[in-house]
Structure formats: structure tokens, C-alpha cells
Amino acid sequence: MLEILAITCPIYLVVLAGYVATRSGLFARADMQVFGKFVFNLALPALIFNALAQHHISDILHPAYLLSYLFGSLLMLALAYVTGRRLLKLSMLRSTFMAMGVSCSNSSFIGFPILMLMVAPVAGVALGLNVIIENLVMLPLLLAMAEHGRDGGGGAWHQVVRQSARRLMKNPLVLAVTAGLIVSLSELTLPAPVIRAVNLFAQASGGLSLFAIGGMLVGLSLSAGWQRVVPLVVGKLIGHPLAVLLIATLVPLIGVTPMAPPLRAAALLMAAMPMLSIYPILGQAYGEADRSATALLICMVSSFFTLSGWMWLLH
């Protein structure tokens, strides 16, 4: 257990450092948005490109990982949405954000740094695969559901899908995945200066992303109906990894080669991360800011214990 804590403690110490630095006034909360923008637009794309471009395509596209993580996430999305609508009697919009909270992980800012400490050889590949799943399937689907729910179920699906597709074409992470796959497929050898420049950006992603997450937590409150978000937090930190593990167990039954243990561990840990950091930002656009921010804060605090537990089980 001390070995596990040695892995998780540095992650949360960096998050705490970002929180303290922002709370004390050393940095403004707006500065964290600048840090996050740098990570999202430059550091993480460089990291993803680097991970994909320097591997053969057969080492990148793991069907078992893609199927396990995708259908595990879709399973949680469906369960949360149906639970919200049928059992909790929530609106379509609120049920959609409940589904988003339990099915979309913070793969980039928190997941990747933890994977680098646990399963470093497959961390970059796992991040690239998660970016494909989350940005090409999960987020467009959930945003389309949110728009449909905001219109009371009367919105035009094709317009929402078209808008989502346009946004994805400009997403730096998606562009990095596309460029990395092109280089991998063509088996190009990039010049050494280019590789070193990309590496410099990529190396800045881990610590800076965690520091920015800590600063973004300043100002969030636990008083905004924390009891209502507890099921969402449990579903994300416990239900999502169990769903991915379930699908990973079933995938070999249809003839797909099972994942190697490090990649299987990476899939489970990615699913066990808190929800994506822009969850409250997306919620603000749909009138769900308070609930989303409270869920994120409780999820971040709780994940210290749940992630330690998952790592202990994987050990």
C-alpha cells in the first residue's frame, strides 16, 4: 500500500500546490485557464502526436482496448441516462449531464500522469486511444443529447451533429491523433530536431496540467447540493471502471485478441479517473454549472482513495 501511495501522493500534491498557489494569490484563477489552454492546445497534442507517430500502426490500434473502453463508456452512459429519467425523474438535460459525468474521464490532465507512473510504456498509446473514443464518439453524442434535451426533445439531430463535426475538425487533440496516425501509417522518419522540439512540448504536459486542475478547483463549493451528486460520483469512480472491465472480459468471446495486462490496467485506470475537467464549463452553457462543479470537486477528493484502491487491486 505504501508503494501505491508513493504513486498517487505526488499527483495530488501537485494538484494541491496549484490549489494553494491560486488560493494564496500567487496566481489568479484566470492564470489556470491560460495554463490549461497551453496544455490543451500545445503540450497534449505534442504528447499524443509523439506517442502515435513513433509507433507502428499495429502497436497503436488495439481493437480490444477500443471496444472495451468504448462500449464500457456507452454502457455507463445508457445506465445513467435511464436511471436519471426513470428512477430519479430528472429532465432530459439533467439526465444527459449525469450520463456525461459517469462516462467521460479526465484522461489527459489526470489519467496520463498517473499512467506514466503505473504503466509508462503504454501510457501514450492509451491516451491516444482515449482521445479517439472521447472526442470522436462520446462527447459529440453527449453534446447532441444535451442540445436535444435543451429543446425539450424537439431539436433537429442533424443540425447538432453537423455543428459537433465542425468543432471536432478544429480540436487540437483530434488533429494530433490524425497527424500521428498519418505519420505512423506512412512510416515516415521525422528529423531529429523536430522530434526534440515535439518532446519539449510533450514533457510540459504532466505537471502543468495537474497544477492547473488544482487552481481551477479554487472557488468551487461543496454546499451546492452535494447529496444529489453522490450517485454520480460513485458511478464514475466505481461503476465506469467495472463496466470497462466487464466488456474487456467479454471481448475475447467474439474472437478479439485480449489486451496485454499493462494495457488492460491502463483501460481500467483511465475509466477510474474523475470526470473531464471541462465538465463544469459545459454545464454552465446548459444551466448545470453548480451541480457539475460540485460533482467535479467531490470526485477529485474521492478519487484519491478510489484510485489508490484500484491500484492496489491491480498490483
Per the structure, how many domains does the chain have?
A: 1
Query: Where do we find the cell 424537439?
Result: 154
Give yes or no for residue 184 having a pLDDT over 70: yes
Q: Which residues contact 196 (CB under 8 A, 6 or more apart)?
A: none
Give yes or no for residue 182 having a pLDDT over 70: yes
Q: Rounded CA gap, 273 and 306, in Å?
A: 9
- Mean pLDDT in residue range 54-65: 79
- Tens of pLDDT, residue by residue over 217-237, are 787 766 655 667 788 999 999
- Tens of pLDDT, residue by residue over 62-98, are 899 999 999 999 999 999 999 999 988 888 888 999 9
Would 1 be classed as within a structural domain?
no
- Mean pLDDT in residue range 175-184: 84
- Mean pLDDT in residue range 1-10: 71
Say what the pLDDT of residue 270 is: 95
Would 195 be classed as within a structural domain?
yes
Confidence of residue 242 (pLDDT cuts 50, 70, 90): very high
Confidence of residue 45 (pLDDT cuts 50, 70, 90): confident
Would 2 be classed as within a structural domain?
no
Give yes or no for residue 20 having a pLDDT over 90: yes
Q: Which string of b and e fits 15-46 if b means at least 16 CB within 10 Å?
A: beebbebbeeeebeeeebeebbebbbebbbbb
Would 228 be classed as within a structural domain?
no
Amino acid identity of residue 66, one-letter, is L
- Tens of pLDDT, residue by residue over 256-283, are 999 999 999 999 999 999 988 778 767 7
Average pLDDT of the chain is 83
The residue among 285 and 288 whose pLDDT is bigger is 288
Would 85 be classed as within a structural domain?
yes
Would 54 be classed as within a structural domain?
yes
Would 225 be classed as within a structural domain?
no
Say what the pLDDT of residue 225 is: 57
The residue among 14 and 135 whose pLDDT is bigger is 14
Q: Rounded CA gap, 121 and 136, in Å?
A: 24
Give yes or no for residue 238 having a pLDDT over 90: yes
Would 226 be classed as within a structural domain?
no
What is the domain range of residue 137? 8-218+235-314
Q: What are the CA-CA distances from residue 296 to residues 65, 77, 222 (Å)?
A: 26, 17, 10
- Tens of pLDDT, residue by residue over 203-222, are 887 788 778 878 877 877 66
Say what the pLDDT of residue 277 is: 73
Give yes or no for residue 14 having a pLDDT over 80: yes
CATH number for the domain that contains residue 284: 1.20.1530
Say what the pLDDT of residue 154 is: 55
